[in-house]
Amino acid sequence: MAANLIQNGWFSEINEQWPGVALSLEIEEMLYDEKSKYQHIQVFKSKTFGNVLILDGVVQLTTRDECAYQEMIAHLPLFSHPNPENVLIIGGGDGGVIREVVKHSTVKHITICEIDQLVIEAGKKYFPSVASAWDDERVTLVCGDANDYIQKAEVEGKFDVIITDSSDPVGPAKALFESPFYVAMDKALKAGGKICTQAESMWLHLDIIKKLVNFTSRTFKNCEYATTSIPTYPCGQIGFLLCSKAGGKSKNSCATPARRVKRGEEDNFKYYTSELHSAAFVLPGFVTKAVADAKAEADAEFKEFTKAQKAANGKKHKADETESKEDAAAESVASPSKKAKAS
- Known catalytic residue at 116: no
Work out which of 104, 205, 277, 295 binds ligand SPM, going by CB under 6 A: 205
Q: CA 284 to CA 268: how far, in whole Å?
A: 29
Helix (H, G, I), strand (E, B) or coil at 61: strand
Residue 277 binds to ligand SPM (criterion: CB under 6 A): no
Work out which of 62, 198, 216, 217 binds ligand SPM, going by CB under 6 A: 198
Q: Dmax over Cα atoms in the chain, in whole Å?
A: 99
Burial class (CB in 10 A: 0-12, 13-18, 19+), 44: buried
Select which of 94, 116, 160, 165 is catalytic.
165
**Range list of H helices, the chain:** 67-80, 96-101, 117-126, 146-149, 179-188, 206-219, 274-279, 285-334, 336-342
Residue 126 binds to ligand SPM (criterion: CB under 6 A): no
Work out which of 56, 71, 94, 224 binds ligand SPM, going by CB under 6 A: 94
Cα–Cα nearest to 74, from 100, 96, 105, 113: 100
Of 80 and 167, which CB lies nearer to ligand SPM in the complex structure? 167
Cα–Cα nearest to 24, from 39, 35, 8: 8
Of 72 and 254, which CB lies nearer to ligand SPM in the complex structure? 72
Residue 212 binds to ligand SPM (criterion: CB under 6 A): no
Of 204 and 243, which CB lies nearer to ligand SPM in the complex structure? 204
Distances (CA, A) of 318 to 69, 195, 305: 57, 44, 20
Q: CA 218 to CA 183: how far, in whole Å?
A: 10
Q: Within its chain, how far is the Cα of 155 from the centroid? A: 17
Q: Which stretch binds ligand SPM (CB under 6 A): 165-173, 289-297, 306-314, 315-323?
A: 165-173
Judged by CB under 6 A, the chain residues 56 through 75 that form the site for ligand SPM are 58, 60-61, 69-70
Of 201 and 228, which CB lies nearer to ligand SPM in the complex structure? 201
- Write each residue from 224 to 263 as x if it is in contact with ligand SPM (CB under 6 A), else as -, in one continuous string: ---------xx---x-------------------------
With beta carbons less than 8 A apart as the criterion, state whether 133 and 102 touch: yes
Residue 204 binds to ligand SPM (criterion: CB under 6 A): yes
Which residues of this chain interact with ligand SPM, rule CB under 6 A? 58, 60-61, 69-70, 92, 94, 96, 165, 167-168, 198, 200-201, 204-205, 233-234, 238
| Catalytic machinery residues | 165
